[in-house]
């Protein structure tokens, strides 16, 4: 009997992964699953998507002799509550418990409803949406991270709270099953080792679908990031290589050809570098060093156009920060904004300050000018971006939100001495190390920073 229980526990893990993988292939399911806010109708649709395969598993358990592993109704109720909230948890608990109740297992539905409702309440009190998706079956890592973060001032951690909830509910279910085995089914054994396995499988059967769905979620966000990056490149091309910019640059070259041909040649080379970078499609992420090399070309042209006495650039870049990977085309629109709305309206010109700092797993990038300041320039542009059709701060903020969630910050503030400073704070990601993919590295960065 113990051998049969052990085999069924292993099969349950495969069934949980198979159902989660099959569901996430549906575009409609993914759209419902990843909605930040759902209506009651959308919540019901999401519950039905998840409940149907798990409820069929209960039916299979009754119709197929010895195929006990098909019943994952308890874990399904917790899973529905975690991803959908209290209402979804209650509806899901009723749905997955109904087939067992039809076969006179009267305790199945109340236990599933309780599990789904409590899991839904726990989701509501989660500090961040990222906490839901970062739950892991490797509970030893969760416990270690919680201890490492909170000692010697321990606080309640959502990951540990969910783990505890699953184990407590499993303990209650075990007690009810032993009290009335005819009215509540579950895999059970008197072996201590198998008991540990039963509890561990319950945790994993919740965590595995969350991990599979989170991978799809990260892929979806990276696709959105790629779309926004393409839009940024096209709009940046329109913004920078518009007739005004191009004609001014070419006029500067024409005026330099006779008395300073070396500078004219340099401007042409830098303009070609800008065009080449903007038309490059494959680089969604670059090292900060490459981003500043692009900024150097852009600023060198602007210095020639405005004059060295009117546009000065001061860089204070920490060398160790330049190897950090950041989204491509992150800094240029902010520099352009400083020049266009901070320094250009100022008769005597001014200075652009570029700073980077690497501290405690975060990189900070600052773009500051000593121009006319926020009071005169902050609202000159429409909210969709800079330079009319430029990418602007709105696009940068949206891209950071898509890629980093709540773990990145973009702020703009007035400088007391005059001018404006934009500050970007990002978690450090090193996706090129040890063959780690960009998606995996950014997923881990978001999870670890949000916890």
279-304 pLDDT, tens per residue? 665 566 788 998 898 888 888 888 88
Strand ranges across the sheet with 350-359:
311-317, 350-359, 362-369, 420-427, 409-414
**Quick one: pLDDT at residue 423?**
92
What's the longest Cα–Cα distance across the chain? 98
Answer for the pair 78, 116: CB distance below 8 angstroms, yes or no.
yes
For the entire predicted model, the pTM comes to: 0.56
Secondary structure E strands in 35-83: none
What are the DSSP calls for 186-248, one per residue? ----S-HHHHHHHHHHHHHHHHHHHHHHHHHHHHHHHHHHHHHHHHHHHHHHHHHSSHHHHHH
Q: In the chain, what are the domains?
A: 2-217 (no CATH), 282-450 (3.30.565.10)
**Quick one: pLDDT at residue 295?**
87
Q: Mean pLDDT across the chain, nearest whole number?
A: 79
**Quick one: pLDDT at residue 148?**
55
Kind and range of the H or E run holding 285: strand 285-287
Query: pLDDT of 71-88, one tens digit each?
Result: 999 999 999 999 999 999
* pLDDT tops 90 at residue 95: yes
Percent of the chain residues past pLDDT 90, beyond the cut: 25
CA distance 324 to 408: 14
CA distance 137 to 17: 12
Contacts (Cβ under 8 Å, ≥6 apart) of 353: 314, 315, 316, 366, 367, 368, 369, 370
Retrieve residue 90's tokens.
């209650």
**Quick one: pLDDT at residue 305?**
75
Buried b (16+ CB within 10 A) or exposed e, 83-117: bbbbbbbbbbbbbbbbbbbeeebebbbebbbbbbb
**Quick one: pLDDT at residue 376?**
43
CA distance 292 to 365: 11
Highest mean pLDDT among 165-174, 380-389, 398-407: 165-174
* pLDDT tops 70 at residue 380: no
**Quick one: pLDDT at residue 400?**
81
* pLDDT tops 60 at residue 109: yes
* pLDDT tops 60 at residue 271: yes
Secondary structure of residue 126 in the 3-state scheme: coil
Contacts (Cβ under 8 Å, ≥6 apart) of 62: 99, 103
* pLDDT tops 60 at residue 243: no
**Quick one: pLDDT at residue 379?**
37
Answer for the pair 195, 189: CB distance below 8 angstroms, yes or no.
yes
* pLDDT tops 50 at residue 435: no
* pLDDT tops 60 at residue 107: yes
Cα–Cα distance list, 103 to 58, 64, 98, 185 (Å): 10, 14, 9, 11
CA distance 300 to 83: 51
Buried b (16+ CB within 10 A) or exposed e, 321-331: bbebbbbbbbb
Query: pLDDT of 34-57, one tens digit each?
Result: 888 889 899 999 999 999 999 999
Q: Give the range among 104-108, 269-273, 283-287, 336-340 with minimum mean pLDDT.
A: 283-287
């Amino acid at each position: 009997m113990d051998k049969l229980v052990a085999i069924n526990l292993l099969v349950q893990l495969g069934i949980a992964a198979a159902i989660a993988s099959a569901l996430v292939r549906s575009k409609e399911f993914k759209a419902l699953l990843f909605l930040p806010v759902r209506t009651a109708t959308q919540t019901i649709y999401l519950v039905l998507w998840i409940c149907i395969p798990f409820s069929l598993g209960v039916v299979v358990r009754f119709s197929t002799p010895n195929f006990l592993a098909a019943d994952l109704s308890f874990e399904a109720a917790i899973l529905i509550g975690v991803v959908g909230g209290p209402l979804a948890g209650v509806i899901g608990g009723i749905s997955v418990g109904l087939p067992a109740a039809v076969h006179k297992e009267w305790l199945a539905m109340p236990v599933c409803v309780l599990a789904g409702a409590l899991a839904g309440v726990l989701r509501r009190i989660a500090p961040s949406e990222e906490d839901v998706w970062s739950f892991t079956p490797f509970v030893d890592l969760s416990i270690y991270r919680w201890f490492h973060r909170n000692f010697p001032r321990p606080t309640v951690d959502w990951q540990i709270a969910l783990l505890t909830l699953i184990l407590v509910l499993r303990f209650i279910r075990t007690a009810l099953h032993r009290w009335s085995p005819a009215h509540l089914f579950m895999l059970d054994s008197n072996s201590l080792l198998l008991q540990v396995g039963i509890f561990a499988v319950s945790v994993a059967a919740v965590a595995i679908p969350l991990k599979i769905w989170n991978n799809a979620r990260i892929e979806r966000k990276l696709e959105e990031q790629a779309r926004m990056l393409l839009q940024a490149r096209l709009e940046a091309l329109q913004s920078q290589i518009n007739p005004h910019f191009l004609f001014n640059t070419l006029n500067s070259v024409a005026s330099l050809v006779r008395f300073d041909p070396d500078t004219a040649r340099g401007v042409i080379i830098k303009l070609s570098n800008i065009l080449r970078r903007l038309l490059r499609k494959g680089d969604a992420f670059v090292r900060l060093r490459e981003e500043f090399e692009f900024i150097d070309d852009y600023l060198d042209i602007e210095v020639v156009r405005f004059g060295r006495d009117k546009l000065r650039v001061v860089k204070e870049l920490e060398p160790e920060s330049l190897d950090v990977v950041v989204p491509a085309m992150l800094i240029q629109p902010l520099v352009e904004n400083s020049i266009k709305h901070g320094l250009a309206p100022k008769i005597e010109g001014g200075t652009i300050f570029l700073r980077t700092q690497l501290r405690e797993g975060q990189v900070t990038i600052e773009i500051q000018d000593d121009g006319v300041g926020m009071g005169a320039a902050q609202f000159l542009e429409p909210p969709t971006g800079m330079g009319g059709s430029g990418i602007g701060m709105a696009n940068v903020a949206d891209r950071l939100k898509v890629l980093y969630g709540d773990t990145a910050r973009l702020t703009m503030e007035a400088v007391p001495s005059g001018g404006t400073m934009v500050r970007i704070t990002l978690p450090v990601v090193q996706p090129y190390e040890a063959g780690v993919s960009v998606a995996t590295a950014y997923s881990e960065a978001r999870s670890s920073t949000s916890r």
